[in-house]
Amino acid sequence: MKIATWNVNSLRARADRVEDWLRRTDADVLAIQETKCKDENFPWELFENNGYEVAHFGFSQWNGVAIASRVGLDDVERTFPGQPAFGKGGKDPVQEARAIGATCNGVRIWSLYVPNGRALDDEHMPYKLKWLAELKDQAAGWLAADPQVQIALMGDWNIAPQDDDVWDIDFFIEQGLTHVSAPERAAFSAFETAGFADVVRPLHPGPGVYTYWDYTQLRFPKKEGMRIDFVMASPALAARVSGAEIDREERKGKGASDHAPVIVELG
């Protein structure tokens, strides 16, 4: 079975590329982030015409997550239990479309779009850290309840856990940028402590192995990227991993997302 995650940065804008990619890679399950659409304008036919069931969670032109599967799509869950909401400037908190789960051929897939944080002193940063802490607590609970459960926490984590996950760690530190701060990295490593493993890094170690390149400053041709998209697997699922790929080619060409798909093969 082949599972993948991809922040498409607007599904409708990249519908043709997503369809071509699905046909080319023959992925069984695709976790999608930043669909940037509501259910009423989601391109359902794109997936259905290619043999995929799909579940989507989106409220507006922001955020949005989905799971497309041709090996079953059961027990769909929009938001994880305890998922924090966000209220800007003291306004009433609103739930954002950042997490959707479904069971696909025995594997519990979570498509995750972790809050960005925006800036170290922005009110979005404590929201991001709380969001991750709540998800970690839930995930640890799932694993404690059944140590053999197969779970994939996959998506855009908006964290670069190691120094070589960015093109220049000194630049990030000097500029006081997010994604590499100690609290963010601690929030990520808490999942590893809870028993989940990054199953791609052992097969594609850094430096210079990235999943995201900003559109500005010619970041992609300069090879100035970040590794921020991950598949974090429970022990039982990690034991099934037989291969992995970061499809850097999909970042090339007209109309590309700023993220590359990450693919994991299961035996």
Angle at 201 between CA 149 and CA 222, to 5 degrees: 140
Whether the bond between 207 and the residue before it is cis, its omega within 30 degrees of 0, is yes
Q: Which two tokens stand for residue 151?
A: 């779970």
What is the 8-class DSSP label of residue 84?
Answer: P
Q: Which two tokens stand for residue 255?
A: 């109309």
Question: What integer pLDDT is reported at residue 96 of this predicted model?
Answer: 96
What sign results for the dihedral spanned by CA atoms 47, 53, 55, 59?
positive
pLDDT digits (tens, 9 = 90+) for 32-89: 999 999 999 999 999 999 999 999 999 988 899 999 999 999 999 999 999 999 988 7
The answer to whether 114 and 80 have CB atoms below 8 angstroms apart is no
CA atoms of 31 and 47, how far apart (whole Å): 12
CA atoms of 129 and 112, how far apart (whole Å): 14
Q: Which two tokens stand for residue 108?
A: 């519990």
pLDDT digits (tens, 9 = 90+) for 192-221: 999 999 999 999 999 999 999 999 999 999
Domains, the chain: 2-84+101-266 (3.60.10.10)
The mean of the pLDDT values for the chain is 97
- If one counts every other C-beta atom within 10 angstroms of the C-beta of residue 40, the result is 6
Whether the per-residue pLDDT at 18 is higher than 90: the answer is yes
Question: What integer pLDDT is reported at residue 61 of this predicted model?
Answer: 86
CA atoms of 160 and 188, how far apart (whole Å): 9
Question: What integer pLDDT is reported at residue 91 of this predicted model?
Answer: 85
Q: What is the pTM of this model?
A: 0.97
CA atoms of 72 and 127, how far apart (whole Å): 33
